Structure 1
Amino acid sequence: MEKITDGIRKDYNLERLYEHDINPNPFQQFSTWFKEALSSKLPEPNAMTVATSTSDGKPSARIVLLKNFDERGFVFYTNYLSRKSLELTNNPQTELVFWWAGLERQVRIYGRVKQVSDEESDEYFYSRPLNSRLGAWASEQSQVIASRKILEQRFQELQIKYTNQNIPRPTHWGGFLVVPQQFEFWQGRASRLHDRLRYNLLKNKTWQIERLSP
């Protein structure tokens, strides 16, 4: 086993996270942190890990891009025939993880998952660049292919097919909405004594805030 040297160890000292400073609404707290990530010019601050598992508990995780959020939840788009989509269909719950290294912050969001409406998927699909729309047709996401050349050839054929034509949204492509039931906001602190504040959604639809030991 390769040892990770202490030379890459980093102590965290940028910020603190106290109960009296945090917004009682986790969506507003996330919005504040997300805006700070944007203004800090971090690379792709909307990148997030999406964790899924099969019905018998086999986990998988990957990075996707958050495309919208409001008090309904958090939306990302994908191929509905992909591995992640099939797992979310069979086990409609996930945890999202945002890691903003430049701010020494992490956010975890656990929630239930459902597909967004066709209208919402259409609106986002038609806002995408032309080649991204073609890519949604070209890629049979998560399926084995013999070579990259096959994918590129398929893409070129689609470019010809849809020359000067509207590109329809594939019925197998659209959005998922993650409806949060729990948030955790993590702020790195010195000596590994990190701040962790967790919001739990109660039955009366209010949020309970509690501190977790690091």
Structure 2
Amino acid sequence: MLYTDPHLVRTLQVILEFLGTFAFAISGIRHAAQKHFDWFGGYVCGFAVAIGGGTIRDTMLGVRPFWMTNIMYVLCTGLALFLVILSRRWIKRLSNAWFVFDTLGLALFTIAGIQKTVALGYPFWVAIIMGCITGVAGGVIRDVLLNNIPVIFHKEIYAVASVGGGLIYWGLFALGMSLPLTVIITFVAICIIRFIAVGYHISLPTLQDEDEKKE
């Protein structure tokens, strides 16, 4: 099958993790800016978002966390901080752009998590869970640092988009589609699911306790 080329898998893995790190770092720093963090606090928040999910994934898979293998992940967050500082006057105007960066990071890291898990020999159901953790855990860490309710627990389709993308990846894998095309289709699918969900205010039903039902 076309999935057996380790060089292609590794190259795509590095590209996805770099792009995902940059996208999620911008998302985290932007949220820190809304809370009026200083530059160092913004960097810490951006870095936590960028490496949080991948670190949890790699720890669970028993391998060295990805960002410890190359200093570029650290520098990538610094570049994201610099970009946000330069655009601080337009932050409110760029609110939709920051949402796009968050969605791109979700899609990129979901795919990176799936690929790495599959490459390590785990079954695909584990890969889908690891892809979801890679994609959403950084956002949970961000929201905890900012004292917000994590997005995945309310309001928006977020983790569901990641899981949906994982299922699509699995289906394309089973059909024997080429790896680059599988990555592209999965990436687009996750972005579309999230854009449609937010654009049309689609969300999962909320839980209610007995007292609320009586009222």
For normalisation by structure 1, the TM-score amounts to: 0.26
For normalisation by structure 2, the TM-score amounts to: 0.26
Larger fraction in strand: 1
